Chains A and B, each alone.
Chain A
């Protein structure tokens, strides 16, 4: 705040865009002045996110990356709603990576959760100033004016002035201070809580949206990189004569690994770079290389063996995790029945439709980048670190992302592009092949879990022991991190919604021999799988209906307030479960060979329940129907949320049925979509999404919470249909696909 005081009042007014949004967004106020928004003559730019032109057109800045979650539309609609704008006048522009926009890290299902209110304020500020400008013109009080559909209206005379006609006078006004900003009542929302179609539909359906891979810079080269098949290995020697002969290949050189400093950034693998006049030639040149690798210490890593090792470890005592309670062993002794099971999830990869890629131009003391990044500020900071260039001289332009799912949170591909541009002194686009994407990613970790539950003679769960092991994401930031971290266990393990009196969670060792990253819904994939499959097993042992059993375990209505401003409310969890049961007509008579399975999960502060109907014919599973209910608090853009949950069902199905990354001698065995399969239309079920109306609750996560429930619900449905338990994913390995 200190810098503000030093700016004189006039500057402050002129620059209020930054100053005001800075206050409200918690951005760094002390940013360099030249980063303040330019006041373009003839426009009204009340803050960093809104610009109104004389013709009434409004440009809204999207600060979060668009990767299919609809954020450009959602946050723009919040601004437009408070501003009382006519939606037809809105154009959305993507922000560059810069801390003046506040946190831009697009992951963790938090863009709406953390940005809805600040964005509403941006709209409200603009509206208030337009009202003031109109009131002055009419020489009446502001209270006698109101904004409506792109006009300010004189409440007494019903005269009205078009937004565009107030631009010049509004631009001269002071911004209202934070405490004077009034936000609309829920009842008055025009866009929030309704359905708005994506602002990018036209571009999407005409091939006009520019993704990273579509960027073309004059005189740009294309590059492909051969990376060591084993994580962190390096080039021993290579011959390039064959590759050099590939037409349009212009240069070949080795690229050194850039190791990230402990605790932050991602660095890049290094390898051999092939530069060419087009992408195809770069790919061909890469294939023609003859490289001998130093595989390094991960060359003995074999996922089949690692699975066995992890399973052995979870069958022995592990480290006690805080949050455990009661005395499980005593309770086991008194139990009527003991149930035990071991579950396994393999390594997974994101495989967004658009492969990792980036375009960069390194010029003396200056870097410009165009890339599909989820976290442009980290990319920028990382470039400043590795290339030792002042951060103000680095521009990160954010393109559309052809899917992200967590892969594009890691900007290794951006670092690669800059390293190559620096070396060849020209702009360059690095493009990963699909094989590169599948074989050199930051993988979703594999896991093993052992569960043991005790049931008394009334079928009540008296004790729950859960041992879990998975390589930690932290290993990508700190070299030796052999145990899952607290924040990871907090994703559904320590924070499961059940009220067990005796609950013990243990964590076992799990080394990382691949780069570990996060994938849509992260550790919740493991926790929801173990929890929901095992509860289904316990329900069966207790001879209870699974839904009744879940409801009993969720316990009485209670609200648990943790550190966050989103308390957990068991009544909401029960409500989504009951709602889903009704929608799926739970208990109905099913056709022969059909089964129903249920799963619930609380993640990213949202409540989700899913019921899956499968049929199993000749040992082949078909997912017939998926019913999902979400309570995500205020549902900002309903149809968009529905689309997200439909997509989550398909994504979750891909995990359950096909997803598996395996290694032999350290190298990933999968290559492309033929051996890393995806759900396709012919396997897609009917999907039925229900969104509970909670307009008075704050909005919570949407992009991820629909994923974790799918795999366990499918496995439970298979049991219901066949009396066979599938405890190890994917089902394709189980002979069921």
Chain B
């Protein structure tokens, strides 16, 4: 198959690339565009390391064809948004990461959660975050940090 020209908008920036249409977005972002913050963990929608937002929708980029992303806005860990910045601050305050590898995906999933629920309960957090594996086991801190991010946000209102 011949590669096709594809325009992708990532974090507000347009990228013109050539890729196979059936390539998962993850590998286009990582290997062709060179943004390596989005991680590979399983390749089969099991771990959430590859999480990105596509038009605001939480998506596992390992299982999402690049051709489906054409014309949409892709948001990765290299991007910035209000909620992501509150989360980053809270992650920092809570000294959350261990190896850090899963944390891009965790932060994107948490951003998506705060985008849809302003003040999530523990149960909301469990539901939203259980698609993201952390082999180092930082769940306690992630949960606390999400609550903290909400608190930080409320302080600034």
Check if B60 is an interface residue, CB within 8 A of chain A: no
Which residues of the other chain, B, contact A405 by a CB distance below 8 angstroms?
Answer: 135
B contacts with A, residue count (CB < 8 A): 59
Check if B23 is an interface residue, CB within 8 A of chain A: yes
Given A197-B95, A280-B31, A353-B41, is A673 in contact with B46 using a C-beta cutoff of 8 Å?
Answer: yes
- Considering only residues 82-120 of chain B, those with a C-beta below 8 Å from chain A are 88, 91-92, 95, 97-104, 107
Most buried by B among A200, A281, A646, A686: A646
| Given A206-B78, A211-B39, A674-B44: 13 more A-B contacts, CB < 8 Å | A201-B92, A206-B37, A206-B88, A281-B20, A353-B135, A353-B136, A402-B101, A403-B98, A403-B135, A434-B41, A650-B134, A673-B42, A681-B139
Could you say which of B42, B92, B101, B135 contacts A197, with CB atoms under 8 Å apart?
B92
What distance in Å separates the Cβ of B144 from its nearest Cβ neighbour in chain A?
A: 11
- Considering only residues 1-43 of chain B, those with a C-beta below 8 Å from chain A are 1-3, 20, 23-24, 26-27, 30-32, 34-43
Q: List 28 A-B contacts (CB under 8 A).
A: A68-B98, A68-B99, A69-B98, A197-B92, A197-B95, A201-B95, A204-B100, A206-B77, A207-B36, A214-B30, A214-B36, A247-B3, A351-B135, A353-B101, A355-B40, A400-B100, A403-B98, A403-B99, A433-B43, A643-B95, A646-B138, A646-B141, A673-B47, A674-B46, A680-B133, A680-B139, A682-B127, A684-B137
A contacts with B, residue count (CB < 8 A): 67
B100 touches A68 (CB 8 A): yes
A646 touches B140 (CB 8 A): yes
B95 touches A198 (CB 8 A): yes
Could you say which of B34, B97, B139 contacts A201, with CB atoms under 8 Å apart?
B97
Which residues of the other chain, A, contact B125 by a CB distance below 8 angstroms?
Answer: 681
Could you say which of A280, A402, A651, A687 contacts B24, with CB atoms under 8 Å apart?
A280
Q: In the assembly, what is the distance between CA of A197 and CA of B101, in Å?
A: 17
Q: In the assembly, what is the distance between CA of A651 and CA of B77, in Å?
A: 26
Which residues of the other chain, B, contact A70 by a CB distance below 8 angstroms?
Answer: 98
Q: In the assembly, what is the distance between CA of A402 and CA of B138, in Å?
A: 13
Check if A672 is an interface residue, CB within 8 A of chain B: yes
- Interface of A: prevailing SS: loop
Could you say which of B26, B76, B91, B98 contacts A205, with CB atoms under 8 Å apart?
B91
Check if A648 is an interface residue, CB within 8 A of chain B: yes
Most buried by B among A205, A210, A644, A650: A205
B97 touches A205 (CB 8 A): yes
Check if A37 is an interface residue, CB within 8 A of chain B: no
What distance in Å separates the Cβ of B123 from its nearest Cβ neighbour in chain A?
A: 9
B91 touches A684 (CB 8 A): no
Most buried by B among A402, A431, A686: A402
Which residues of the other chain, B, contact A643 by a CB distance below 8 angstroms?
Answer: 95, 98, 138, 141
Given A672-B44, A680-B130, A682-B126, is A650 in contact with B139 using a C-beta cutoff of 8 Å?
Answer: yes
Q: In the assembly, what is the distance between CA of A692 and CA of B131, in Å?
A: 35
Check if A278 is an interface residue, CB within 8 A of chain B: yes
What distance in Å separates the Cβ of A709 from its nearest Cβ neighbour in chain B?
A: 15
Q: In the assembly, what is the distance between CA of A201 and CA of B90, in Å?
A: 11
Check if A170 is an interface residue, CB within 8 A of chain B: no
Check if A213 is an interface residue, CB within 8 A of chain B: yes
Which residues of the other chain, B, contact A354 by a CB distance below 8 angstroms?
Answer: 39, 41, 99, 101
Given A68-B99, A403-B99, is A280 in contact with B42 using a C-beta cutoff of 8 Å?
Answer: no
Given A205-B107, A680-B133, is A210 in contact with B95 using a C-beta cutoff of 8 Å?
Answer: no
Q: From A209, which residue of chain B is reached at the shortest CB distance? A: B100
Q: In the assembly, what is the distance between CA of A678 and CA of B130, in Å?
A: 11
Q: From B100, which residue of chain A is reached at the shortest CB distance? A: A204
Which residues of the other chain, B, contact A198 by a CB distance below 8 angstroms?
Answer: 95, 97
- Interface of B: prevailing SS: loop
Which residues of the other chain, A, contact B143 by a CB distance below 8 angstroms?
Answer: 681
What distance in Å separates the Cβ of B138 from its nearest Cβ neighbour in chain A?
A: 7
Q: In the assembly, what is the distance between CA of A66 and CA of B100, in Å?
A: 10
Could you say which of A208, A279, A684 contacts B31, with CB atoms under 8 Å apart?
A279
B92 touches A216 (CB 8 A): no
B41 touches A207 (CB 8 A): no
Q: From B95, which residue of chain A is reached at the shortest CB distance? A: A197
B137 touches A679 (CB 8 A): yes
Check if B132 is an interface residue, CB within 8 A of chain A: yes
Q: In the assembly, what is the distance between CA of A43 and CA of B2, in Å?
A: 54
Most buried by A among B100, B103, B132, B135: B100
Q: From A644, which residue of chain B is reached at the shortest CB distance? A: B98
Which residues of the other chain, B, contact A283 by a CB distance below 8 angstroms?
Answer: 43
Check if B49 is an interface residue, CB within 8 A of chain A: yes
A201 touches B91 (CB 8 A): yes
Given A201-B91, A247-B3, A353-B39, is A207 in contact with B78 using a C-beta cutoff of 8 Å?
Answer: yes
Binary contact track A272-283/B, C-beta < 8 Å → 1, others 0: 000001111101
Q: From B40, which residue of chain A is reached at the shortest CB distance? A: A213
Q: In the assembly, what is the distance between CA of A76 and CA of B2, in Å?
A: 51
What distance in Å separates the Cβ of A212 from its nearest Cβ neighbour in chain B?
A: 10
Given A205-B88, A402-B39, A403-B135, is A248 in contact with B20 using a C-beta cutoff of 8 Å?
Answer: yes
Q: In the assembly, what is the distance between CA of A202 and CA of B32, in Å?
A: 25
What distance in Å separates the Cβ of A265 from its nearest Cβ neighbour in chain B?
A: 25
Q: In the assembly, what is the distance between CA of A735 and CA of B157, in Å?
A: 49
Q: In the assembly, what is the distance between CA of A195 and CA of B97, in Å?
A: 15
Which residues of the other chain, B, contact A403 by a CB distance below 8 angstroms?
Answer: 98-99, 101, 135-136
B133 touches A673 (CB 8 A): yes
Check if B69 is an interface residue, CB within 8 A of chain A: no
Given A198-B95, A283-B43, A400-B99, is A678 in contact with B133 using a C-beta cutoff of 8 Å?
Answer: yes
Which residues of the other chain, B, contact A646 by a CB distance below 8 angstroms?
Answer: 137-138, 140-141
A640 touches B95 (CB 8 A): yes
Q: In the assembly, what is the distance between CA of A401 and CA of B102, in Å?
A: 12
Binary contact track A260-299/B, C-beta < 8 Å → 1, others 0: 0000000000000000011111010000000000000000
A278 touches B27 (CB 8 A): yes
